[in-house]
């Protein structure tokens, strides 16, 4: 691969950026008193690169180049374990040489130190949400199910990967040997973990993950082209990993399992990290100073620049990928009112709610011994709670003939607890509901278990008799996995049954429980199809919602951890019967995804009201 091809692959930004020589720094926490690295000269053009998370010695901190002030780089956030009361003193002292700082969401990051300290940090408060001690910890990665894996490098009880549950501090669940374990990458699309050690790149799958004794199984070992595996990171929008060894930097294609030299950095020695920004491919990399494990210099590619941070000791730099890209505009949901769009299209608006698009997957056969349902959903922009939008990856589902549904709503509503009958509207959240077998027999609130104080409940009959649990969840643009999981058996009023839990998993792997619902029975068969929908609904808070412009992608349904074998997939846009909708959406197949594009109201060709979606599974 040529340098030009590499640049095209990762879509590097062609804009030039302003950077400045950095001469002064404060090591204090700068939450309320931002300090700047002052400029002696301008090194590029006139725009900032965004935000970086860095670590080395006992500090983790964030740097920013503000758009309004092109003369300075600012340190805008700082964290030290010694100021964190949640971490025991014996472990606080193990953060003197931080060596990993991975952002896992806008406000949270994972930190490790070669001194042994590991932590999950809420950057908004500076508090540790979890901590552990692992000999010579060198990297850490978020996994599904609120678990993390730590790379423990060369030490008496190191040379291994160590698994933890974020609900239980400092309590290892499992470990496996890996000499000089240094870097970790979770591939969420393939549900695989990649780990780099002294002389190999290893690939693992999850095993017994829903049990109390989870583990990982090594499925691939690929010898490194040179010894001393160090950093490991994904290359956005490609199948590549970028990795460093003692002597070189490589790209590794996960599909064909081939290494190739990095077009710019191949012959660089002692590269401690390479981080590529998601949105535009801009690269930051750190190289140990001669004879030292650390540096005080940030290196950038495209354009090639260096920035010295006086008095700093740097080991890792990671882009905060939520940073807004230069020139990028936030996608807007705004459209004219439904009334104005309907008038322009010459159509009448039906009563709400409006199912703007339904998707149906028809299976080859029903799925016996049902344990779990998972569907990925991606929303391309932030939809504010001034709209009533329901994104339902679980539109109509049935087990043993019992119907349920769930998804993400911009405005959940319901009763604040099981004793209240006052309807509240707290904002965005998740929902999980079930109906009685005949939809006439009431389903009581005893069929519900809430997961947190902010959960809402409801039992009613205005849409057929149902019971529902909802939870406040501030979802925004991004990818989520909506999960329904079989949990423990139980009895309700003498009837044997099973609790099913609804989880929402974000792109970092963090899971939030919406709550649990009781279903009669102990063994379940999932029926021979599944649906998803996008809906504009009405509430007392917003009786007549606008129709937001938005694009929603639904992934291939997974049942019991496997992609379901399908006969066919189709889209349907109801117009004459419920919930009928004005025509304002089009569904397209894109690989294994179904893409719903919601926009202006239009007149649809009736021949396309129901049409096939030729999706195909990815390799």
Question: Both ends of the chain: CA-CA distance in Å?
Answer: 23
Spatial neighbors of 95 by CB under 8 A, at least 6 apart, are: 58, 80, 81, 82, 111, 113, 115, 117, 119
Q: Hey, is 341 helix, strand or coil?
A: helix
Tell me if the domain spanning 3-17+83-319 has CATH number 1.10.3210.10.
no
pLDDT of residue 500: 98
Q: Are strands 448-450 and 423-435 parallel, antiparallel or unpaired?
A: unpaired
Q: Where are the domains of the chain?
A: 3-17+83-319, 338-612
197 vs 62: CA distance, rounded Å: 28
Provide mean pLDDT across the span 260-278.
Answer: 93
DSSP class of 314: B
Q: Are 139 and 148 in contact (CB under 8 A)?
A: no
Q: Could you write out the three-class secondary structure of 238-272?
A: CCEEEEECCCCEEEEECCCCEEEECCCCCCCCCEE
Q: Are 463 and 431 in contact (CB under 8 A)?
A: no
C-alpha radius of gyration, the chain, whole number: 26
Q: For residue 119, which of 166, 78, 74 has the smallest C-alpha distance?
A: 166
pLDDT at 223 over 90: yes
Instruction: Give the number of residues written for the chain.
Output: 619
Provide mean pLDDT across the span 339-353.
Answer: 94
Spatial neighbors of 291 by CB under 8 A, at least 6 apart, are: none
pLDDT at 232 over 90: yes
353 vs 347: CA distance, rounded Å: 17
The token pair at 484 is 């329904």
What are the pLDDT digits (tens) for 590-611? 888 999 999 999 999 999 999 9
What are the pLDDT digits (tens) for 272-290? 999 997 645 688 999 998 8
94: phi then psi, degrees, rounded to nearest 5: -90, 10
pLDDT of residue 246: 96
Q: Are strands 183-187 and 529-536 parallel, antiparallel or unpaired?
A: unpaired
pLDDT of residue 188: 82
Provide mean pLDDT across the span 118-143.
Answer: 94
Q: Which of 42-46, 53-57, 85-89 has the lowest mean pLDDT?
A: 42-46
Spatial neighbors of 296 by CB under 8 A, at least 6 apart, are: 289, 308, 309, 310, 311, 312, 313, 314
Tally of CA atoms within 13 A in the half-sphere of 485 that contains its CB = 20
Q: Are 142 and 509 in contact (CB under 8 A)?
A: yes
For the chain, the average pLDDT equals 87
pLDDT of residue 437: 95
Q: What percent of the chain has a predicted confidence (pLDDT) above 70?
A: 88
What are the pLDDT digits (tens) for 347-362? 999 999 999 999 999 9
Locate tokens 């599944």: which residue? 530
* Higher-pLDDT residue of 339, 18: 339
Q: Hey, is 80 helix, strand or coil?
A: strand
pLDDT of residue 617: 77
pLDDT of residue 74: 75
Locate tokens 């920035």: which residue? 307
Provide mean pLDDT across the span 222-233.
Answer: 97
Q: Which DSSP string do the residues of 528-566 spell out, in sequence order?
A: SEEEEEEEE---SS-SS-----EEEEE---EETTEEPPE
CA angle 229, 233, 235 (to 5 degrees): 130
The reply to whether omega before 579 is within 30° of 0 (cis) is: yes
pLDDT of residue 321: 64
* Number of Cβ atoms within 10 Å of the Cβ of 172: 16
Q: Are 319 and 276 in contact (CB under 8 A)?
A: yes
Q: Which DSSP string do the residues of 356-408 spell out, in sequence order?
A: EEEEEEEESS-BSS--EEEEEEEESS---TTS-EEEEEEEEEEETTEEEEEEE
pLDDT of residue 280: 59
pLDDT at 36 over 80: no
DSSP class of 578: S
Q: Which of 97-106, 136-145, 199-208, 456-465 has the lowest mean pLDDT?
A: 97-106
419 vs 355: CA distance, rounded Å: 32
Which strand (E) or helix (H) includes residue 274? strand 271-276
pLDDT at 40 over 80: no
Spatial neighbors of 125 by CB under 8 A, at least 6 apart, are: none
pLDDT at 148 over 50: yes
Spatial neighbors of 119 by CB under 8 A, at least 6 apart, are: 81, 84, 87, 95, 110, 111, 128, 130, 131, 132
pLDDT of residue 291: 77
pLDDT of residue 7: 38
pLDDT at 24 over 90: no
Provide mean pLDDT across the span 167-180.
Answer: 96
Q: Are 21 and 39 in contact (CB under 8 A)?
A: yes
Spatial neighbors of 501 by CB under 8 A, at least 6 apart, are: 484, 485, 487, 513, 514, 515, 516
pLDDT of residue 310: 84
pLDDT at 302 over 90: no
Q: Are 141 and 186 in contact (CB under 8 A)?
A: yes
pLDDT at 320 over 90: no
Partnered with residue 300 across adjacent β-strands are 284, 305
85 vs 356: CA distance, rounded Å: 50
The token pair at 520 is 């009669």
Locate tokens 């998370």: which residue? 53
Q: What percent of the chain has a predicted confidence (pLDDT) above 90?
A: 74
Q: Is the pTM here over 0.95, yes or no?
A: no
pLDDT at 48 over 80: no
* Higher-pLDDT residue of 283, 498: 498
The token pair at 331 is 């996608």
Taking CA atoms, 329 is separated from 324, 326, 332, 383, 505, in Å, by: 8, 9, 9, 15, 27
pLDDT of residue 194: 98
Give every strand in the sheet of 305-308, ordered side by side. Answer: 271-276, 283-287, 297-301, 305-308
Spatial neighbors of 167 by CB under 8 A, at least 6 apart, are: 130, 146
């Amino acid at each position: 691969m040529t340098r030009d091809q590499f640049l095209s692959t990762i879509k590097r930004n062609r804009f030039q950026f302003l950077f400045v020589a950095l001469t002064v720094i404060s090591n204090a926490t700068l939450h309320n008193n931002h300090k700047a690295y002052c400029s002696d000269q301008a090194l590029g053009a006139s725009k900032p690169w965004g935000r970086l998370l860095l670590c080395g010695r006992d500090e983790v901190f964030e740097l920013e180049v503000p758009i309004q002030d092109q003369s300075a780089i600012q340190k805008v956030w700082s964290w030290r374990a010694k100021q964190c009361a949640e971490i025991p003193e014996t472990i606080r002292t193990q953060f003197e040489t931080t060596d990993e700082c991975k952002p896992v969401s806008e406000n949270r990051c994972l930190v490790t130190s070669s001194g042994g300290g590991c932590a999950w940090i809420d950057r908004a408060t500076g508090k540790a949400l979890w901590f552990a001690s692992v000999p010579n910890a060198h990297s850490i990665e978020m996994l599904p199910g609120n678990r993390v894996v730590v790379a423990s490098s060369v030490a008496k009880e190191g040379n291994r990967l160590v698994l933890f549950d974020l609900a239980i501090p400092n309590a290892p669940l499992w470990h496996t040997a890996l000499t000089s374990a240094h870097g970790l990458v979770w591939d969420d699309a393939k549900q695989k973990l990649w780990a780099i050690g002294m002389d190999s790149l290893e690939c693992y799958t999850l095993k017994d993950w829903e049990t109390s004794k989870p583990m990982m199984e090594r499925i691939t070992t690929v010898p490194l082209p040179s010894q001393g595996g160090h950093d490991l990171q994904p290359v956005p929008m490609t199948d590549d990993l970028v990795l460093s060894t003692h002597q070189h930097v490589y790209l590794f294609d996960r599909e064909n399992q081939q290494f190739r030299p990095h077009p710019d950095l191949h012959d660089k020695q002692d590269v401690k990290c390479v981080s590529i920004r998601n949105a535009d491919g801009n690269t930051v990399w750190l190289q140990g100073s001669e004879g030292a494990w650390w540096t005080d210099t940030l290196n950038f590619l495209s354009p090639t620049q260096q920035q010295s941070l006086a008095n700093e000791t740097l080991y890792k730099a990671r882009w905060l990928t939520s940073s807004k890209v230069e020139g990028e505009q936030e996608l807007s949901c705004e459209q004219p009112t439904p009334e104005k769009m309907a008038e322009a299209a010459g159509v009448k608006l039906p009563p709400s709610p409006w199912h703007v698009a339904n998707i149906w997957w028809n299976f080859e056969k029903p799925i016996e011994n049902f344990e779990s349902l998972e569907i990925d959903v991606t929303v391309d922009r932030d939809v504010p709670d001034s709209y009533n939008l329901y994104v339902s990856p679980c539109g109509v589902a049935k087990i043993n003939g019992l119907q349920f549904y769930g998804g993400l709503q911009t405005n959940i509503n319901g009763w604040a607890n099981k004793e209240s009958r006052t309807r509240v509207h707290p904002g965005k959240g998740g929902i999980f509901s079930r109906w009685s077998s005949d939809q006439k027999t009431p389903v009581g609130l005893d069929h519900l278990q809430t997961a947190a104080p902010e959960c809402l409940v409801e039992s009613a009959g205005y849409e057929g008799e149902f019971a529902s649990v909802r939870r406040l969840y501030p979802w925004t643009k991004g990818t989520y996995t909506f999960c329904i999981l079989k949990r423990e058996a139980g009895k309700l009023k003498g009837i044997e049954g099973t609790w099913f839990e609804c989880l929402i998993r974000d792109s970092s792997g963090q899971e939030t429980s919406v709550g649990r619902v009781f279903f009669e029975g102990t063994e379940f068969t999932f029926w021979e199809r599944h649906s998803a929908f996008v809906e504009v609904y009405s509430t007392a808070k917003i009786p007549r919602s606008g129709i937001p412009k938005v694009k929603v992608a639904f992934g291939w349904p997974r049942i019991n951890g496997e992609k379901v074998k399908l006969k066919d997939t189709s889209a349907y846009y109801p117009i004459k019967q419920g919930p009928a909708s004005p025509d304002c959406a089009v569904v397209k197949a894109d690989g294994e995804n179904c893409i719903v594009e919601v926009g202006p109201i239009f007149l649809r060709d009736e021949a396309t009201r129901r049409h096939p979606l030729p999706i195909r599974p990815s390799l």
